[in-house]
Structure 1
Amino acid sequence: MAQQIRNTIRNLAMAVNVLFGVAKRIDYKTLNRYIIEINDKRDLTGILIETSRCLKELLDYRLFSFAVQSDDKIDIWVDPSISKASIEKIIEKDFDYSKGLNIHYNINEKEGDYNHTFSFNPNELQSYILTGESYLGKMYILPTRKMLPYHNEIMNIITKTLNIAFNKLMDIKKLENAAAIDPLTGAYNRGEFNRIIEHHTSNSIRHVKNLSLIMIDIDHFKKVNDTYGHQAGDIVLKEVVKTIRSEIRKGDYLARYGGEEFAIVLPDTNMIRAIELAERLRQIIENLEIRILSNEIIRVTSSFGVATLKAGFNKETLLKEADNMLYKSKTNGRNRVMPGIKLCPTVSAQEC
């Protein structure tokens, strides 16, 4: 893969040299440098910033916006000098928002810091499509002067370079996901859970935000394996994960903590909301009809332990509290949420 990328970059560099022979005004050394710089980046923002600089320096074009769709998510980069509202309608026409896509704007600056003084004619925008195995991208540029004779050649090289960079970025993401995902259920694995809970605990403490954690254990799961076999147990695990995923928000994190035990990290969620979610999940799982390979229908129940970040808590104490609540749920008869709504302390509205 690395050799293939190097060969492609070399071919692009040769194309630049050929192009220089056709149009003497092209700064081929600068273009060659940007090709390498773009391919050295390991994140979307870095790739697009280098592309923006390249367009500006070589063609005096403004990289107005860039949208890339992969899976159920669209990442949108917007020129910091404009309001995202000015490009939103244009991108919405090109990407089907009706599919419930998760729209994320890759903007480092706060919206309030934007100048929003730049005006443009939408009819002057030019767009270029990029496609890969796992993504669809569209680059929107605004020529700030009359097109140069070698415009098409330059843009062809830049789009090819971006395709190489994006394919490499997607390959890296696949490898990262493979290392972070439980292969059976598709939930995050224990290692990734540790990273997620560490990050969100630190972030919530620093910014004084709510953070809740739900621990889940499928009741008498060993009996399922012993009675119906491990394949049936695998089906149960996958169905439970599928059910939980359908109920949590896109910003929540579901991880397989170990065996038949799962954890849900809930940023910006207080105790009451976390308990309500846990109780809703408990009822849905209890009513699930899980069809196994023998065509039999089996049912399972689950026990839940809920904890919320409090003053003096850290990652370890949050985990311990959720685990203690799960233990109480199991020792009090299983198929329940601890603490229940009635047991939730009401003295502090912030905690509960």
Structure 2
Amino acid sequence: MKQNLELLMEMLAALPDPVFVLSESGKYLALIGGHDARYYHDGSHLVNFSLHDVMPKARADWFLQQIQQTLEEGRLRTVEYSLGAHEIKGMELAEGPEQDIWFEGRVQPLRRPFRGERAVVWVARNITEHYNMQRQLKTLSEQDELTGAYNRRKLMEALQERVAEFHRYSHPLSLIIFDLDHFKRVNDKFGHVSGDKVLFSITTLCNKQLRQQDLLCRYGGEEFAVLLPNTNLEDAVQLAQRLRTTVGSYDFEQELGESYSITISAGVSTLTPGDDIESLIKRADSGLYQAKNSGRNCVIEKARQL
């Protein structure tokens, strides 16, 4: 019997992931496993302290909410979260990963009270490598490989979110679609490699004029779209003019080997009640078509005809 108990304790201590027993009030009641410093910090000093003793209030409140929800539902729950050693008192200098760790927490209620309180078992598995890989794959799926701008797929996803937001909260939303004038001449004269450099530089130039919330996308070929949340038509037209001026005044000598300027034509539209994604894009496209037929190097706004 004694040998079996010793074997059981040794097995528990050897668990690769840390297993916490946490009370309904947020107290650390026990901790076993998770001793590999490549993946975890030693949290043995946390036992008998509460979440609010060792964490910022907002973080402790979140963990306590997960514990209480698990107990209320009476079933296994899985949560994902990040946590760094700097957020936990007494762990700042502990051996372990330097960066914040992403965890998958598997939280299971205990059938019986432990030390007079209802409690849960919380298994914390380090998923940082998997999380970072998933984030990189998502980024790659949303970006245009050549320019680094977002791609058409990302634009359509963002449009769905922002249009729904407009219809719910009436936040203004505008769209610019612009095209590089006579870009075929660049590829024909300097080659496609040089043309690709121009597209990359234009992406960089435009991004410097945009806010963090704005979305620059390569719409196709030498055509780009800029999604502008919380922006009315007048402000969107002003931005389109700045983009036109910025690109038009830039000398592409470094990209093409000789002094060369390029202009853009743009169409601008804004979302109005009753609009959908298709109508917003269609009006911006119509403005772009009109700009090209008006001699290029200009911006045409297309308001909805009510």
Same fold (TM over 0.5): yes
Change (3 A) 1:15 1:320: same
How many matched pairs? 233
Change (3 A) 1:264 1:79: farther
**What is the alpha-carbon distance in structure 2 between the residues aligned to residue 185 and residue 19 of structure 1?**
43
Q: Give the match for residue 147 of structure 2.
A: 185
Q: Give the match for residue 64 of structure 1.
A: 55
Q: Is the 8 Å Cα contact of residues 187 and 254 (structure 1) preserved in structure 2? A: yes
**What is the alpha-carbon distance in structure 1 between the residues aligned to residue 17 and residue 196 of structure 2?**
58
Deviation, structure 1 residue 166: 2.4
- Structure 1 gap segments, 5+ residues each: 1-11, 33-38, 40-54, 67-76, 82-105, 107-123, 140-156
- Bigger Rg, which one: 2
Aligned residue among 195, 199, 223 for 1:233: 195
Deviation, structure 1 residue 205: 1.3
Greater share of helix residues, 1 or 2?
1
- Structure 2 gap segments, 5+ residues each: 1-10, 20-28, 40-44, 63-80, 82-87, 103-122
Aligned residue among 182, 186, 190 for 1:220: 182
Change (3 A) 1:200 1:59: same
**What is the alpha-carbon distance in structure 2 between the residues aligned to residue 17 and residue 324 of structure 1?**
60
Aligned residue among 7, 26, 30 for 1:26: 30
Q: Is the 8 Å Cα contact of residues 101 and 128 (structure 2) preserved in structure 1? A: no
Percent identity over the alignment?
A: 30
Q: Is the 8 Å Cα contact of residues 306 and 337 (structure 1) preserved in structure 2? A: yes
Q: Give the match for residue 202 of structure 1.
A: 164
Q: Give the match for residue 325 of structure 1.
A: 287
Q: Give the match for residue 211 of structure 2.
A: 249
**What is the alpha-carbon distance in structure 2 between the residues aligned to residue 327 and residue 232 of structure 1?**
26
Deviation, structure 1 residue 215: 0.4
Change (3 A) 1:265 1:65: farther
TM-score (structure 2 length as normaliser)? 0.65
Change (3 A) 1:61 1:220: same
- Cα displacement string for residues 26-77 of structure 1 (whole angstroms, at most 9, x for unaligned residues): 354xx78xxxxxx9xxxxxxxxxxxxxxx999852336349xxxxxxxxxx7
Matched residue type, 2:189: T
Q: Residues 1-352 of structure 1 correspond to what in structure 2 (within 5 A)?
A: 15-16=14-15, 26=30, 28=32, 59-62=49-52, 64-65=55-56, 78-80=59-61, 125-126=89-90, 128=92, 136-137=99-100, 161=125, 164-292=126-254, 295-339=257-301
